[in-house]
Structure 1
Amino acid sequence: MLTACLLSMKWLKSILVGVLGSLVMFLLMMLGIHGTGIAPFNLPPSAAFLEQLGLNTGPLPLLVHFGYGATWSLVLVGLYGSDANVRRGIYLATGLWAFMMLVYSPLIGWGVFGIGGSGHTLAASDPLHLGSTAKYVVATLLLHLVYGSIIGGLNPAWIQSEKSSTRSTA
């Protein structure tokens, strides 16, 4: 019973770590979009994807963003468990970024790696407008590296603390 409870705590903690990593990404994007104006897009990519599908309503973009972050944190723990680390988190996040550049970006209308999409021709005020390609590639990569560092750093730390507390109570 105790083992099952601790296993479920591991997964709950991993979900929370993924949500935290997604929150940091989201806050940095909002700062770039609304605070400093340096973001090359008007909507975070998850919201832009839903906008393109006509589904950018209510809390759905946030649920998708945080759900995606929680899911990939679970995948990292599922693959590596307590052997997860920052390097593996960054590798996973870099793979997610590449998938975004090759699949989601063209679906949004921003082109592969932000090149050649219709988003460049839209008015700067349009929700799906995409500005500088270089800014887009670099900003989204940096955001993914931050996310990967968080999930790769916190997940194993929480798993190790869980193991330590189990040993001390046994």
Structure 2
Amino acid sequence: MQVHNLSPSDWGKAAGVGLAVAILTAAFMFTGFKTGISPLPESLGLAFSETLLGRELPLPVGLLFHTAWVTLFSVIYVVLFRDSLTFMRAFWLAFALWILVLVFFFPFVGWGFLGLNISPKLIVGSAVPHLLFAVLLWGLCKMIFNAPREQPAHDVQHRYQHR
């Protein structure tokens, strides 16, 4: 793992991927809430924001937190793995974020360690969107970053001098 120097174009692409992943995962979770499939009592982003600020907030505040969080970690994925944006790396990032939800965010919002104050179903219920995050992050990065990186002009020039 190394920190890659991204071009301005790559920064924009990484942020764009993050925004797309945030929108798609939010739509998935919103559908889960509306259909009653999700075992979470409310959006975790909203519950976190409300707990942090100590008052009720509208859903868009939770969506903003979710969008910022997902975009941040999508950009981190690209910064750390720009030359090897594999599914397994996206999966391990999603897994680490899922564990963070279970042991930090759930207790922080009052849902208990692993969400057990609400239901053991929260463990799987929170794993599914994280798996979706990994699939979308990897898939969109594969589509957006599939072209080889441009090499600095001196590297290209050096390569042609030795032919």
TM bucket (normalised to shorter chain) is: 0.7 to 0.9
- Determine which of 116, 119, 138 is the counterpart of 2:124: 138
Among candidates 137, 143, 159, match of residue 151 of structure 1:
137
Measured at CA, do residues 145 and 56 of structure 1 come closer, stay the same or move farther in structure 2, by a change above 3 Å?
Answer: same
TM-score normalised by structure 2 residue count: 0.79
Deviations 1:121-164 (A, max 9, x none): xxxxxxxxxxx322x11121111011011112322432233638
Other structure's SS at 1:149 match: helix
Quick one: distance in 1 between partners of 2:59 and 2:98? 25
For 1:29, the aligned partner's letter is: M
CA contact (8 A) 2:22 2:70 kept: yes
- Normalised by the length of structure 1, the TM-score is 0.76
Amino acid aligned to 1:148: A
Aligned CA RMSD, in angstroms, stands at 2.3
Larger radius of gyration: 2
8 Å CA contact 1:18, 1:70 repeated in 2? yes
Q: Summarize the alignment of residues 12-161 of structure 1 with structure 2, pairs less than 5 Å apart.
A: 12-34=12-34, 36-53=35-52, 54=55, 56-57=57-58, 59-115=60-116, 117=117, 120=118, 132-134=119-121, 136-161=122-147
Please say if residues 85 and 153 of structure 1, whose CA atoms lie closer than 8 Å, have aligned partners that are also in contact: no
Q: Which whole-Å CA distance do the structure 2 matches of 1:58 and 1:91 have between them?
A: 29
- Dislocated runs of 4+, deviation >4 Å: none
Read off the aligned partner of 1:143 and give its amino acid letter. P
Q: In 1, Cα distance between the equivalents of 2:83 and 2:142?
A: 5
> Which one is further off, 91-100 or 49-58?
49-58
Is the CA contact (8 Å cut-off) linking 1:46 and 1:65 kept in structure 2? yes
Deviations 1:24-69 (A, max 9, x none): 21111111111x2121123211111112232624632221111111
Q: Which has the higher contact order (CA 8 A, sep 6+)?
A: 1
* Structure 2, unaligned runs of 5 or more: 1-5, 157-163
Amino acid at match of 2:33: I
Instruction: State the distance in 1 between where 2:102 and 2:112 align.
Output: 8
Q: Which amino acid aligns with 2:7?
A: L
